[in-house]
């Protein structure tokens, strides 16, 4: 299981209406730190399969959702729960930090 592709068209259904927490990675293919964190995001999708939705938004292809959530630097990772953004981190962070974000959303 790898991260779900989230875009302007399915953001509402995949994230805002999700019955479980959602971790969203806002990224771009030309972004070096995004390429580093990308495999970690996929690992988390496997680790939390069935409990948390893990998704990726390509900011170049999805300007609406990128603008809506005020993403100004990448990578930006947000956690949503019950249709609300509950945590955000900008820049390259380790798997432990992302795991902590997910665990908080599950409690």
Active site residues: 31, 34
Do the Cβ atoms of 92 and 36 come closer than 8 Å?
yes
Gap between the terminal Cα atoms of the chain? 23
Cβ atoms within 10 Å of 34's Cβ, excluding its own: 21
**With b meaning 16 or more CB within 10 Å and e meaning fewer, what string describes 37-57?**
bbebbbbbbeebeeebbbbbb
Q: What is the DSSP letter of 70?
A: T
């Amino acid at each position: 299981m790898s991260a779900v592709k989230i875009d302007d068209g399915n953001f509402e259904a995949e994230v805002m209406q999700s019955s479980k927490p959602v971790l969203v990675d806002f990224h771009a293919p030309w972004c070096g730190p995004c390429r580093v964190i990308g495999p970690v995001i996929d690992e988390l999708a496997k680790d939390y399969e069935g409990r948390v939705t893990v998704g990726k938004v390509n900011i170049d292809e999805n300007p609406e959702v990128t603008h809506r959530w005020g993403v100004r630097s990448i990578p930006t990772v947000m956690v949503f729960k019950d249709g609300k953004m509950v945590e955000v981190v900008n820049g390259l962070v380790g798997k432990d930090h992302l795991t902590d974000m997910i665990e908080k959303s599950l409690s």
